[in-house]
């Protein structure tokens, strides 16, 4: 059994996929082919924004957004403590300071009260200039944008939506990727919409920022790439990867998103009485980048994990530690926040296999194994 079943996906899409890749090979446009422009239009239309700029990966997408805003040394950017490293790495990479806020236990997303406390603490201290909030759509579920927007407006901050895991999810009828001032996603193979290597994209309604990001992703180009008007990056999506995403985007829209939601619903039905299952608030949908259960404590988590492993079921821990516990951020000021929810979640969380292609039999077996070990059926 695979943790995220990419083999079955390739088997299902093989004919179309091989043809799409072969077309790029025949054209020999390996960088900047027609597929890039087509894909950017398709993605912008799907997400519901004016501009999509593809790039090398989801981490670069965050970096490009921060660079477009001129975020750098002396700036504070607020980041949830419970997320993948890139959400804060990109902030530090452009020279700004990540400041961590806690998350809610039931959605795993940014706790707006903790967020507001750290913003005020940074302002009180007066050393850094608050510039932006990185709102992460963790595990496929959008953050609480209505309340985050209130805070962003109150303190004049940009919202950078990190939707590396949230592509396809919705928040009160709006799609992830349209919920920030700039939004980003990743096409890393295991994300909801993946390619066959690294890839990413930036979304925004702001034409000036989109143009700036188009320049920044190709060495700060002016009229062409040998006219360089700023310091940029080399961060393009390969044409082959664009062709892969085009094929996958069709399947994603036609059935994958629906099927992964059906799989998640079966987990919630089968496990809701014995472990803490993820809550999807009213007005939200998830794209289920992963399905994370919370066990009673670390001991129970490790027992369930070992039991699943003995029976050939792979699991992951998202994430083993909060960002404030990463060695590289150990010198960061926490502004009085103790981040207890993240610290607790990291000890009790377990991600179990989820994908649009998980068979009903495999899923029943996973549910049974977890029930055995949590004593639900004893």
Q: Residues in the site for ligand PLP, rule: CB under 6 A?
A: 57-59, 83-84, 86-87, 136, 162, 164-165, 186, 188, 198, 200
Cα distance between residue 57 and residue 39, in whole Å: 15
Q: Which helix (H) or strand (E) holds 166?
A: none
Q: How far is the CB of 125 from ligand PLP (least distance, A)?
A: 27
Which CB sits closer to ligand PLP, 54 or 57?
57
Residue 49: which of 215, 185, 178 has the closest Cα? 178
Rounded distance between C-alpha atoms, residue 376 and residue 276, angstroms? 12
Where do we find the tokens 């990291």? 346
d(CA 45, CA 258): 19
Shortest gap between Cβ of 377 and ligand PLP (angstroms)?
34
Our separate counts of H helices and E strands in the chain read 12, 12
Q: Are 163 and 191 a contacting pair, CB within 8 Å?
A: no
- Cβ atoms of 345 and 114 within 8 Å: the answer is no
Supply 164's token pair: 């590396």
Query: In the block, which residue shows the tokens 């901050």?
Result: 157
**Whole-number minimum distance, CB 196 to ligand PLP, in Å?**
13
Q: In angstroms, what is the minimal distance from the CB of 150 to ligand PLP?
A: 23
The tally of CA atoms less than 13 A away on the side-chain side of residue 284 is: 23
Q: Shortest distance, CB of residue 217 to ligand PLP, whole angstroms?
A: 14
**Smaller CB separation from ligand PLP, 264 or 274:** 264
Residue 5 or 137 having the CB closest to ligand PLP: 137
Measured from the CB atom, the residue of 58 and 270 that comes closer to ligand PLP is: 58
All residues at 6 or more sequence positions from 279 whose CB lies less than 8 Å from its CB, including other chains: 106, 107
Q: How far is the CB of 192 from ligand PLP (least distance, A)?
A: 10
Complex with ligand PLP: residue 83 or 178, whichever CB lies closer: 83
Q: What is the DSSP letter of 318?
A: S
Rounded Cα distance between 295 and 347, Å, is: 9
Residue number closest to ligand PLP, CB atom: 58
Between residues 184 and 246, which has the closer beta carbon with respect to ligand PLP?
184
Nearer Cβ to ligand PLP, position 81 or 162? Answer: 162
Nearer to ligand PLP, 136 or 249 (CB): 136
- The Cα–Cα gap between 313 and 3 comes to 8
Smallest gap from Cβ 199 to ligand PLP, in A, equals: 7
| CA-based nearest residue to 304, from 344, 263, 352, 272 | 352
Beta carbon of residue 137, minimum distance to ligand PLP (angstroms, whole number): 8
Helix (H) or strand (E) holding 352: strand 349-352
């Amino acid at each position: 059994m695979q943790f995220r079943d990419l083999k079955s996906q390739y088997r299902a899409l093989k004919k179309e996929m091989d043809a799409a890749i072969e077309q790029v090979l025949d054209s020999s446009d390996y960088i900047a082919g027609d597929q890039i422009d087509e894909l950017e239009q398709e993605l912008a239309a799907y997400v519901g924004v004016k501009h999509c700029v593809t790039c090398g990966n989801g981490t670069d997408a965050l970096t490009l957004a921060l660079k477009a805003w001129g975020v750098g040394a002396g700036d504070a950017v607020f980041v949830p403590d419970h997320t993948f490293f890139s959400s804060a790495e990109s902030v530090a990479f452009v020279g700004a300071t990540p400041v961590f806020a806690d998350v809610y236990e039931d959605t795993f997303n940014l706790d707006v009260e903790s967020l507001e406390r750290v913003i005020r603490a940074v302002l009180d201290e007066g050393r850094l200039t608050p510039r932006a909030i990185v709102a992460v759509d963790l595990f496929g579920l959008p953050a609480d944008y209505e309340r985050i927007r209130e805070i962003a407006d109150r303190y004049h901050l940009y919202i950078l939506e990190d939707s590396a895991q949230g592509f396809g999810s919705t928040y009160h009828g709006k799609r992830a990727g349209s919920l920030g001032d700039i939004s980003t996603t990743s096409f890393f193979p295991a994300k909801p919409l993946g390619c066959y290597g690294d890839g990413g994209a930036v979304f925004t309604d702001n034409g000036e920022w989109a143009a700036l990001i188009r320049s920044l992703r190709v060495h700060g180009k002016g009229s062409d790439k040998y006219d360089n008007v700023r310091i940029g990056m080399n961060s393009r999506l390969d044409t082959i990867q664009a062709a892969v995403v085009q094929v996958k985007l069709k399947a994603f829209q036609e059935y994958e998103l629906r099927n992964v939601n059906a799989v998640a619903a079966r987990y919630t039905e089968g496990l809701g009485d014995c472990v803490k299952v993820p809550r999807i608030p009213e007005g939200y949908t998830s794209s289920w980048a992963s399905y994370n259960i919370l066990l009673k404590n670390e001991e129970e988590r490790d027992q369930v994990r070992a039991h699943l492993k003995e029976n050939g079921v792979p699991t992951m821990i998202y994430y083993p530690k909060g960002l404030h516990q990463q060695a590289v951020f150990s010198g960061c000021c926490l502004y009085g926040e103790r981040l207890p929810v993240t610290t607790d979640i990291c000890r009790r969380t377990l991600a179990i296999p989820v994908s649009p292609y998980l068979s009903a039999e495999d899923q029943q077996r996973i549910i049974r194994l977890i029930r055995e070990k949590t004593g639900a059926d004893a």
